[in-house]
Amino acid sequence: MTDADFPVIRLLPKAKPQAIRRGYPWIYANELVMDRRSRGIPAGTVVRLEDAERGVLGLVGFNADSKIAGRMLDPDPEAVIGRDWLVAKLARALALRTRLFDRPYYRLVHAEADGLPGVIIDRFGDVAVIQPNAAWAEVLLADLASALAEVTGVTTILKNAGGRGRALEGLDDVDAVLLGEAPAAPLPVEMNGATYMADLTGGQKTGLFYDQRPNHAFAARLAEGQQVLDVFSHVGGFALAALAQGAQAALAVDGSAAALDLARDGAARMGAQDRFATRQGDAFDVLTAMGQEEARFGLVVCDPPAFAPSKPALEAGLRAYERVARLSAGLVEEGGYLVLCSCSHVADLSSFTGACLRGIGRAGRRAQLLHTGFAGPDHPLLPQLAESGYLKALVFRL
């Protein structure tokens, strides 16, 4: 495609192109000239972005129906956005992960931070799961899957359409098998000495959360000989890592019976089933009940879903994090440890820490902050995009 073949979208005169030139990857609809011609461009089309003076800023994946109408793909207006371009991006992402990890179990592509905006790819050995959460990626999905198979050698590729971003892009929620056959059963994944069961077709997100891997490891160092409580446990995240490092016992709490079944399977594969127990229920109800039962643990971990998924939900989300901190702090033995996590990108580290400290204080406890953790290096940050640094984990000694 030649330069002249690309449709053109233009920034409004009031919009400032400096941030885009410095690497900010998103262009909002209210920054663009959204006339009839622009609105007629099919969602997912690659377009050329120009500023008010007709300076070319690069090639963008465009969706007039999304609040984020443009996603920067390449600052080079001569780039050819196609299969070969995707191969190069994936090869660069793979080179980093191969250096970081001994085995092919990791997040291979972390969206904007890996130069593929809106695209998540998690790898489970010979199986990869793609979340194409932007219209441009949906349009190029066949090329993306083909390039992924070439670069990595995976034999099965699944499309997971459950991402919240797909609805915001006007995309469907239909999962698909893009290559090979879907696994007939959950796959075992080893991390930090623990075994997790990843349900790639029926589980949450892509089947397993790789982002907490380094935080699992840090918390597990505190778990030897301890009674451990893991709330919002999913498939046993912190609990199984703690058992692998010598915890006396671990109790996993989650609202999903299916997730707890997978956690029990993981514990059994580790030979730790006698030290592992589960309790299904609403986390706030269970925490409240345990407080009334005067239960105490040497290590308590709370890793909830995003309580503040958007700016309008921030205040309510911070109140929820404060409540979690208050309820969980009362369950920690004197001198024990409390790990509190947030995956809400709009709740920045300062706001989240403040909410946690208010909750701990209202439980009548005082804390040392031992460690602040983030997502692992297979979830790199794009420094210009704060949203790419969503995960926070605070480790306290009470």
Domain ranges of the chain: 3-74, 83-179, 191-397
Q: Where are the alpha helices (DSSP H) in the chain?
A: 18-21, 36-39, 83-100, 135-139, 141-152, 164-168, 213-221, 237-244, 257-269, 283-292, 314-329, 349-362
- Distance CA(106)–CA(117), nearest Å, equals 18
Would residue 245 be called left, alpha or beta, if left means φ above 0 and alpha means ψ between -120 and 50 degrees? Answer: alpha
Phi and psi dihedrals of 178, rounded to 5? -95, -20
pLDDT < 70 stretches in the chain: 1-4, 54
Token code pair at residue 80: 């050819």
CA distances for 200 relative to 7, 111, 122, 361, 397, angstroms: 38, 19, 10, 40, 36
Sort 198 into a burial class: Cβ within 10 Å, 0-12 / 13-18 / 19+. buried
Residue 361's Cα: distance from chain center in Å? 30
* CATH superfamily label, 3-74: PUA domain (2.30.130.10)
Separation between Cα atoms, residue 244 and residue 249, nearest integer Å: 11
CB-CB contact of 49 with 20 (8 Å): yes
Q: Which two tokens stand for residue 268?
A: 């059994």
pLDDT at residue 206, as a whole number: 81
Q: Looking at residue 204, what DSSP letter applies? A: S
Residues 37, 62 contacting (CB under 8 angstroms): no
**Is CATH 3.40.50.150 what the domain over 191-397 is classified as, yes or no?**
yes
Residues 77-117 pLDDT 10s: 999 999 999 999 999 999 999 999 999 999 999 999 999 99
What is 83-179's CATH superfamily? RNA methyltransferase domain (HRMD) like (3.30.750.80)
Residue 241: its pLDDT value, please? 98
Quick one: how far is CA 173 from the chain centroid? 18
* Sign of the alpha-carbon torsion through 168, 171, 173, 176: negative
Range 106-141 burial, b when 16+ CB lie within 10 A, else e: bbbbbbbbbbbbbbbbbbbeebbbbbbbbbbbbbbb
Longest dimension (CA), the chain: 71
- CA angle, corner 263, sides to 261 and 266, nearest 5? 115
CA distance 328 to 231: 9
Residue type, 100: L
Q: Please report the pLDDT score of residue 4 as a whole number.
A: 52
Q: Is residue 79 classed as helix, strand or coil in its secondary structure? A: coil
Topology alike, domains 3-74 and 83-179: no
Q: In terms of C-beta density within 10 A (0-12 exposed, 13-18 middle, 19 or more buried), how is residue 87 classed?
A: middle
Question: Is 356 annotated as catalytic?
Answer: no
Length of the chain: 398
Catalytic residue, chosen from 302, 341, 343, 356, is 343
Positive or negative: CA dihedral 140, 144, 150, 155: negative
Q: Which residues contact 341 (CB under 8 A, 6 or more apart)?
A: 212, 215, 301, 302, 303, 304, 391, 392, 393, 394
CB-CB contact of 255 with 283 (8 Å): yes
